[in-house]
Amino acid sequence: MDALCREVLEETGLTVTQVTGYAGSFDYASRSGRRTRQFTFAVTVGATGPITLTEHDDAAWAGPGDPPAVSDETRALLAGRRAG
């Protein structure tokens, strides 16, 4: 949990106040071609901004009726979380 909170802070500038669930994981090839595993968690943050991205191209807040533009793998994890 410490690593999750640290990575969210480093990559977005947001402070995680609570980890509320684990959505799952999947493997993919990164832009550099390396095999990577993404772990996806549901969290609560202290404030929703400002967002300062250091390793990502874009960020968006999205509700259940407004799905974000994400990979098919991430979309499947999010759909499973809403169904669960």
19 confidence band (pLDDT: 50, 70, 90):
very high
Q: What percent of the chain has pLDDT over 70?
A: 94
pLDDT at 61 over 70: yes
Residue 73, phi then psi, degrees to nearest 5? -65, -45
Containing structural domain, residue 31: 2-83
**Predicted model pTM:** 0.76
Contacts of 65 (CB under 8 A, 6+ apart): none
| Domain at 61, CATH number | 3.90.79.10
Total domain count for the chain? Answer: 1
